[in-house]
Structure 1
Amino acid sequence: MGKINSATGLSICIFLFISFSLNAQNPAHKKPISELFHALQSKYQVQFNYDEALVSGITLEAPPNNLSLDEILSYFEKHTRLVFSVLNKNLILVNQKPPLLLCGFLKNIENHDPIESATIQGILNSTTSDSSGYFQLEMSQNKDSITIRHIGFKTLVAAFNDLKSGECSEIFLQPKFQNLSEVIVSNYITNGINKLNDGAYEMNFSNFGILPGLVESDVLKLIQAFPGIHSINETVSNINIRGGTNDQNLILWDDIKMYQSGHFFGLISMFNPQITQKVMLTKNGTDVSYTDGVSGTISMQTEEQVNSNFKGNIGVNFTDINGFSDIPIGRNSSLQVAARKSLSDFVKTPTYREFFERISQNTEVESNNSNITNSDKRFDFYDTSLRWIYNMSEKDFLKVNFINVSNTLRFNENTVVDNQEKSKQSEVSQNSIAEGIQYKRLWNKNFTSTLEAYETDYKLRAVNENILASQRYLQENKVSETSIKLITELKINNSFTLLNGYQFIETEITNLDDVDNPIYRKKISEVLRIHGLFSNLGFRSKSTKTNLDFGLRANYIEKFNKTIIEPRFSFNQRFLEYFTFEILGEFKNQSTSQIINFQNDFLGIERRRWQLSNNQDIPILRSQQFSTGLNFSKAGWLLSTEVYEKRVNGITAQSQGFLNQYEFVKSHGSYKIFGLDFLIRKRLHKFNTWMSYSFMDNTYDFEDFEPYPFPSNFNIEHSMSLGTSFKTKNLKIAVGLNWHTGKPTTEPVDGDNIVDNKIIYKDPNSSSLDDYWKFDLSALYNIKINPNTHANLGASIWNLFNVDNIINNYYHIENNSVKEVKQHSLGLTTNLVLRVFFN
């Protein structure tokens, strides 16, 4: 597998644009319909009577010359929203067609119960079903198709003509024959976010609302809207789920494990939102089919429905140009392709400059040796995603995935040696490439099997040229992982479901340090092979008010001859109609983690490198978590609260990013968290308002460190967000405030704080940075261009009041005194997006 360069990434975007053009009518052959009327009036001696405003903007290709007048009028009606009435032989009245309305009641085909919160998607509009299963949707023309989706039912795609119009008929959906969670709270924060009965959260982008500061559905920024989830340094590559580090998150893209998550070295998500259909977020009670991720799981999924019509979009914002196409291949197959390419090769936007300044803070890119100047700083990123699905039969389903991601930062180091100018290029790059295949078989209505396999590769590489010492320092961190998984699901009866499976994982991690003067080379490559067996028994009461899952997973690690048993469970009970009570628990383990050797590793841009556990000084991470929660939902009100306790053993000091007296100390220990997550939300007409609050007491326990316990580097004791959104048919607006207490920090002692050229610190994390707060704004407007084309125009402002938040600091010795270095958050950062959709 080779790398794809940035020119190839750009070529992909151009290819997508051409594909859109090939699937659209050529506008060069179109004429205003009023011109066609004039030509027909002379040819057939007729008079068209119409309002100029009615036909303004309507263009068509001229009809063939051999058509009769009646055939031409039928041609016009077929391709426009116009209707023609011949009043006499010479006068033709032109009017607009009345809207086509489709209404119906969605019901479960097995018990005829109404289906609430289903998404009904047309060509231009979408809606959801109410508590009685009722919906109403305006269609553009008779040939339009609609897609009806619900998490517990098979997706239905039907043409308008195939459904009864003029009356609200019953439309029946078939339940999926597998153990699926049901929605217990819909529109958790905004439209498209639901809480499920297994404690997980689902984000469905087919009917998504809007959140403050975001106009694109950046997955890893969206999940930070949930209570209990933060980013300690504002990046998507350092998301902290309930106080854990980012490497403790299991990130899946169509069930492929990803070891990289961000573009711009963490400022935006690397997962193209145009091809991502839904996201599942799990903080506790993880499905037994998943391993790793001792802090949480973020699982992204692409569309599993074959699209019968071409659709696509192309968009541009202040960071990149991107495109997406969904191309039908026959009746039973479709191909989705998405690509993004940064704009930095063409223009340096204000957003680009703000992002570049943010990632290069306190690194060799920003400031070098006093005798060296940096120039020609260039940053580039691209990603390409592909998904192909094939309905082999009514019982067989095949999905193939591919993703390729790249980030590259280059700059020249310049100096003068012996009156001669010298210049050398340093660079750091981060790449991921992965492929996956999934085959599902429905043996009968009670038994299904799924076979999954993937290969994922990650590479972080830096070349640091020391021009004064004539030295080149090469660093590499590579991860290569292969996995095969088999899952079977048996529906025992209407209440019980049994899931069983096996997974094999082989992970190889290589670390390289290579210096050419003096010659030094250290390369370490390690491999772990893990076999996992898992089983889960699910219970759903006939009333669906009681839900229980209890499972066990056993992981056998060949290298250590070690077996780890992990029980997991989730319980959910609905009572008094509007209340639900839940209990969640899990044991998990993971054999990979990220460490920091030195703060200047990889030019200081991306300091963390992946490393395998050795069962000694780098133990296997093991977590235990228990939580209980209560939800109330009625009349647009939602109150949700959850209390949890979590413990993770086997963490190393190098994985925690210490910048105090423990920066270079190698030790391992644990952290323990007691926390509370709370959310209140009110929906009123077109407004949606919410407030979330989190409390966390996160402490370390390292036996080699004193005193212990002491606050974790990721202990955000209090955090709160306030937001409100407004939505009409074409306009969405959201504003919000985010606040949290400052990150823990360690200050030097007062007075004489340097001994033997070392800083003497106070107790670890005994102080805190100033509180963090920012105000965000976003707006998105939908523009209808014609029946087959519409556009979104959006704008966002991050940190509207340009608050100078300090998100990290550390101390070093300079001129025999202690100097503080501060890392600042993003200042006021704007973004604009224009996206055109083709159907």
Structure 2
Amino acid sequence: MLYFQRSKHLKIVFCVVLFVSHFGYGQNADKIKLSQFIATVEQQFDVKFSYASQDVSDIFIKAPQYELTLQQVIEYLNVKTLLNFQILDNRYVTVSKTDKQISVCAQVFAAEDKQPLFGASIYIKNSQTGTVTDDQGYFELKTIPVESVITLSYLGYKDVELNAVDLFLGNPSCKSIFLEENSEQLNQVVITKFLTNGIQKLVDGSTVLNTKTFGILPGLTDPDVLQSIQALPGIESVNESIANINVRGGTNDQNLILWDGIKMYHSGHFFGLISAYNPNLTEKVTVTKNGTSSEFSDGVSSTIDMRTKNTLTNKFSGGFGANLISADAFLEIPLAKDLELHISGRRSFTDVFKTFTYNNYFDRSFQDSDIRTQRETSGDIDTSSDFKFYDYTAKLLFNLGDKHKFRANFIEINNDLVYTEQVVNTSGETQSKSSNLSQKNKGFGAQWQANWTNAFITKFNAYYSKYNVDAQDYNVDSDQLLTQANEVLETGFKLNTHYKFSKDVTFLNGYQFNETGILNETAVTVPSYFKIKKDVLRNHALYSQLELNTAETFLRAGIRLNYFEKFHRFLVEPRLNIRQKLVGALSLKLGGEFKNQSATQIVDFQDDFLGVEKRRWILANEESIPISQSKQSSLGVEWNKMHFNMGVAGFYKNVKGITASNQGFYNNFQYLSAIGEYSSRGLEFLVNKTANKYSTWLSYTYSVNEYRFETFEPSVFSNNVDIRHSVSLAFNYDILEHLKISVGGMWRSGLPYTKPVEGNETIQSGNNIYVNYDTPNSENLDEFKRVDVSLSYKFQMSSSVNASLKAGVLNVTNSKNIINRYYKIDPDDSNKTIEVNNTSLRLTPNMSFRVLF
């Protein structure tokens, strides 16, 4: 009971009032209205509270269980409410709103079956503060601003936004929140926290990266989506380049890359070392290695489907940040109630200020180019180079009621390099010549989704994509200008219909049209030479699939019919994806698919200046360049219980219709034309343990990857990207609530390479001398090994502004890894060769600072 400094009679009266009102002190723990509590205290202590009625109308408070003075009552109210109580004098007490920080808690359940949702993403809007729910669906957020808006997100369910105050006030215990199933989602999550926060594994075997809640991976300072997927078994980059991601033994051009439905022909800045896609608006990335949906084709190795934020928030927000290479910013701008604009931009500052990180990246990117050669052998020639990159995106979101959504997108990615040579001629004059390289990819897209009924949805997508590489190489000594261009123009549209027969059965049907035009041009001034080639290919596709998704069984069976106008050719592609729960936590997985690809890259070593322009996109002609076709199957088992996941899968992939020119041979087949195939077979193993404060994983891939070219001798030999053994190990730990560390390493077998014939290293053909290579890919480089580490710290700059500071180091041990080896003729002795080794990144630190508001 309260302690009164008045008569004993008043004390008894007040006790009766408390008891009758059911908010009495002592053992009564029920909550009462704050306004009622204030009225009683006013009568008790003969004081007057000054407040606005709307500030206290919805607030409840639990009565203390011990005796208090008036001062103690005020202190109690300041702790237990989100208001500021202050005694002015012995007569008046003021009540006002406050900007204090609070702690909140809740439990998250599925609305349908009332089961708790483990791994649901909880984050404060426009900040990097967040957490995930535990196995009971429970979460806590401590010391957050009172005006915070909390977003609850779980794949396959509709997002929910709540004011933090709603989770703090008016509830005797933590609030229960029920998420409703999202009818747009046709899949479900099997593993909610896979490897680290923000990575989930779906029932069809695909992996989803959610950049909103992305955690931390070794060596990374930003959630680089194309770097992050390399943590998955079966996905490698044999030369550390995003522009060369190898999925189950495939080449990079065999990966279908989509950005909001727009097909992209370019993936990396810094000519492959940094992802070209800004993660701040790239909300979700889905990676599929096998068992692909029938709506996707044109990528015989994998599908990487990137999607930007697609929900209107009706709130102005954004952020900006920088690392030791570039700076970026993004904004989400409400234009009207149902209209919103999302924009982002990023630009390097390397043309103005060069950091240690930039120098390492530059040396790694251009070590096998004219820049490096001239730097080492320039003599009287002065050289300089300037490199910059930028990208920007824009997305317009418009909702026409609850049933129709319209979206329009734009993206541009650009890399520019200017290389200058200066030489003093015999007359004492200085001659200055520049060489330039530009690499761009632009894309426009539009989408319309209509929810005609709860069971029937249509989605229409149209896009335009343009890719350009333009290079000018001027040689001062010979006064020769070499100009090269590669251009891809693609337009396309897709119409999907989704019909839900029942809660568990969905039927997809669709039609897709693509028109792809590719230009290749080469021009030389001395001697005069000009060549240009243009090709156009139109492709029509009809596809259909049925999906069954129950608690025990997932089955997706589909078929795709492709028609190529130019060749009057049909290709039929069946697809199958099965996951069956066996006993307890054990599941069986089976996948298979046929796919095709009509645009591939060739590698032209003869006209090589900076290493980028030698890779050119070309179209199939069904003569010297056939349509590539793949067949793939996989079978595996997975055990998932108590946040412990272990899986093993065997796979087999065969790709026919590859050409010698698109493999980048450094051997006797380097300048030959031939059509062949490759087959990759192996085993993928992953064990992953996650908890609230840590996650750790170990992955291992064993594979055998071989070429078959019937016109070559030998006809069967190891693939250029044949990595027999690959191991990855990492450990993430939350040192403090906002301080995280990630340490990891990788080890893999060395790549194959070809040596010259010992004692007969060169061979002459006419006036030309070539390296006389021995048996192709019969030797292996030393193993590749690297250890990386990252540190992340998040903090609040104010009640509405959050920040993060991250640091990462790639190759902490400074290992010198050789990632490619070839030979060239010794200019001083044509009977001998010189060994050329391309090495990986050396010890490379990076830091980033980011602000969200």
Q: For this structure pair, what is the TM-score category when the shorter chain's length is used for normalisation?
A: 0.7 to 0.9
Partner deviation per Cα, 1:529-557 (whole Å, 9 max, x = no partner)? 0001000101123xx22110000011100
TM-aligned CA deviation for residue 470 of structure 1: 2.2
Report SS of the residue matched to 1:329.
Answer: strand
Counterpart of 1:457 in structure 2 is: 466
Cα gap change, 1:372 to 1:558, in 2 (>3 Å): farther
Q: Name the aligned partner's letter for residue 772 of structure 1.
A: F
In the alignment, which residue of structure 1 is the partner of 2:748? 740
Asked if 1:801 corresponds to 2:805, the answer is no
The corresponding residue for 1:315 is 321
CA distance 1:126–1:604, shift in 2 (3 Å): closer
Deviations for 1:244-284, whole angstroms, at most 9, x for unmatched residues?
A: 00000001111111000010111101101111111101000
2:139 match: secondary structure: strand
- Shift of residue 313, structure 1, vs aligned partner: 1.2
1:424-823 alignment, distance < 5 Å: 424-541=433-550, 544-598=551-605, 600-683=607-690, 686-727=693-734, 728-756=736-764, 757-814=769-826, 815-816=829-830, 817-823=832-838
Match of 2:217 in 1: 211
- Shift in Å at residue 644 of structure 1? 0.3
The aligned residue for residue 298 of structure 2 is 292
Compute the displacement of 1:104 (Å).
3.6
Q: What letter matches 2:670 in structure 1?
A: E
Letter in 2 for 1:192: G
Contact 1:371-1:415 within 8 A present in 2 as well: no
Secondary structure of 1:355's counterpart equals helix
In the other structure, the counterpart of 1:155 is 159
Give the equivalent residue in structure 2 for 1:367: 373
Provide, for residues 606-648 of structure 1, a one-character-per-residue CA deviation record: whole Å limited to 9, x for no partner.
Answer: 4200000001110100000000121112233221111100000
The aligned counterpart of 2:248 is 242
2:412 aligned residue: 404
In the alignment, is the contact (CA less than 8 A) between 1:359 and 1:605 conserved in 2?
no
Amino acid corresponding to residue 751 of structure 1 in structure 2: G
Task: Please tell me whether the aligned partners of residues 509 and 527 of structure 1 are also in contact (alpha carbons under 8 angstroms).
Answer: yes
- Structure having the higher Rg: 2
Contact 1:203 1:278 in 2 (8 A): yes
Q: Describe the shift of the 1:346–1:421 C-alpha distance in structure 2 as closer, same or farther (beyond 3 A).
A: closer
The corresponding residue for 1:16 is none
After TM superposition, the structure 1 stretch with the greater mean CA deviation from structure 2, 427-436 or 592-601, is 592-601
Question: Following the alignment from structure 1 to structure 2, what is the Cα–Cα distance between the partners of residues 82 and 749?
Answer: 84
Q: Secondary structure at the match of 1:221?
A: helix
Give how far 1:819 is off: 1.0
Q: Secondary structure at the match of 2:610?
A: helix
Give the conservation status (yes or no) of the 8 Å contact 1:179–1:497: no
Alpha-carbon contact 2:193-2:690 (below 8 Å) kept: no
**Matched residue, 1:281:** 287
CA–CA distance in structure 1, aligned partners of residues 369 and 667 of structure 2 = 18
Shift of 1:199: 1.2
Q: Do the aligned residues in 1 keep the contact of 2:471 with 2:613 (CA within 8 Å)? A: no
Comparing 684-693 and 527-536, the one that deviates more: 684-693
- Deviations 1:371-400, CA, capped at 9 Å, x for gaps: 762522100111101122122211111111
- Are the aligned partners of 1:101 and 1:165 in contact in 2 as well (CA < 8 Å)? no
Residue aligning to 2:5: none
1:832 aligns with 2:833: no
Match of 1:86 in 2: 87
Corresponding position: 1:355 with 2:361: yes
**Counterpart AA for 2:474:** E
| Equivalent-residue separation in structure 2 for 1:382 and 1:333 (angstroms) | 27
Aligned AA for 1:307? T
Is 2:389 aligned against 1:381? yes
1:122 to 100, 120, 124: 124
- Cα deviation for residue 479 of structure 1 reads 0.4
Q: Deviations over 1:686-730 (max 9, x none)?
A: 232211111010000001111131100010110101111111311
Q: What CA distance in whole angstroms lies between the structure 2 residues aligned with 1:472 and 1:685?
A: 60
Distance in structure 1 (CA, Å) of the matches to 2:631 and 2:300? 8
User: Residues 140 and 690 of structure 1: is their aligned pair in 2 closer, same or farther, counting only changes over 3 Å?
Assistant: closer
Query: How many angstroms does 1:518 deviate by?
Result: 3.3
Structure 1 distance, partners of 2:584, 2:89, is: 63
Judge conservation of contact 1:363–1:600 (CA < 8 Å) in 2: no
Pick closer, same or farther for the CA change 1:87–1:546 going to 2, 3 Å: same
Q: Distance in 2 between matches of 1:828 and 1:799?
A: 5
Letter in 1 for 2:156: G
- Determine the C-alpha separation between the residues in 2 that align with 1:139 and 1:150: 24
Structure 1 residue 477, shift from structure 2 partner: 0.1
Match of residue 35 from structure 1:
none
Q: Decide whether the 8 Å contact of 1:365 with 1:374 is kept in 2.
A: no
Identify if the C-alpha distance between structure 1 residues 658 and 836 changes in structure 2 by more than 3 Å, giving closer, same or farther: same
Q: Secondary structure of the residue that 1:220 maps to in structure 2?
A: helix
Q: 1:649 to 1:262 in 2, by over 3 A?
A: same
1:599 CA displacement: 5.2
Q: Does 2:179 match 1:173?
A: yes
Q: Kindly state the Cα deviation for residue 471 of structure 1 after the two structures are TM-superposed.
A: 2.1
Question: How far 1:140 moved relative to its partner?
Answer: 4.0
Q: 1:91 to 1:723 in 2, by over 3 A?
A: farther
TM-score by length of 2: 0.86
Cα shift at 1:680: 1.2
Q: Which moved more, 1:527-536 or 1:191-200?
A: 191-200
What do the CA deviations read for 1:456-506 (whole angstroms, capped 9, x no partner)? 100001001122222211100000100110000000112221000001000
Query: What is the match of residue 108 of structure 1?
Result: 110
- Aligned AA for 2:120? A
- 1:635-669, CA deviations, whole angstroms, 9 ceiling, x for partnerless residues? 33221111100000000011111011111011110
Partner of 1:206: helix, strand, or coil? helix
Separation in 2, partners of 1:768, 1:350: 31
Is this contact kept in 2: 1:374–1:411, CA < 8 A? no
| Closer/same/farther in 2, CA of residues 320 and 90 from structure 1, 3 Å limit | farther
Number of residues of Structure 1 aligned to a counterpart in Structure 2:
759
Deviation at 1:113, TM superposition (A): 3.8
Query: How many angstroms apart in 1 are the aligned matches of 2:88 and 2:641?
Result: 56
Deviations 1:544-586 (A, max 9, x none): 2211000001110000000100001110112333222110111
Instruction: Quote the residue 1:14 is aligned against.
Output: none
Does the 8 A contact of 1:155 with 1:305 survive in 2?
Answer: no
Note closer, same or farther for the CA distance 1:433–1:602 as it changes in structure 2 (3 Å cut).
Answer: farther
Q: Kindly provide the CA deviation profile for residues 429-473 of structure 1, in whole angstroms up to 9, marking residues without a partner as x.
A: 101111111110000100000000110100001001122222211
Deviation at 1:122, TM superposition (A): 2.4
**Mapped pair 1:413 → 2:421:** yes
In structure 2, how many angstroms separate the alpha carbons of the residues matched to 1:707 and 1:647? 19
**What secondary structure is seen at the aligned counterpart in 2 of 1:604?**
coil
TM-score by length of 1: 0.87
Gaps of 5+ in 1: 1-72
The one-letter amino acid paired with 2:629 is R
1:187 matched to which residue of 2? 193
Is this contact kept in 1: 2:652–2:681, CA < 8 A? yes
CA contact (8 A) 2:787 2:811 kept: yes
| Equivalent residue, structure 1, for 2:432 | 423
8 Å CA contact 1:401–1:437 kept in 2: the answer is yes
Structure 1 pair 718/780, CA: closer, same or farther in 2 (3 Å)?
same
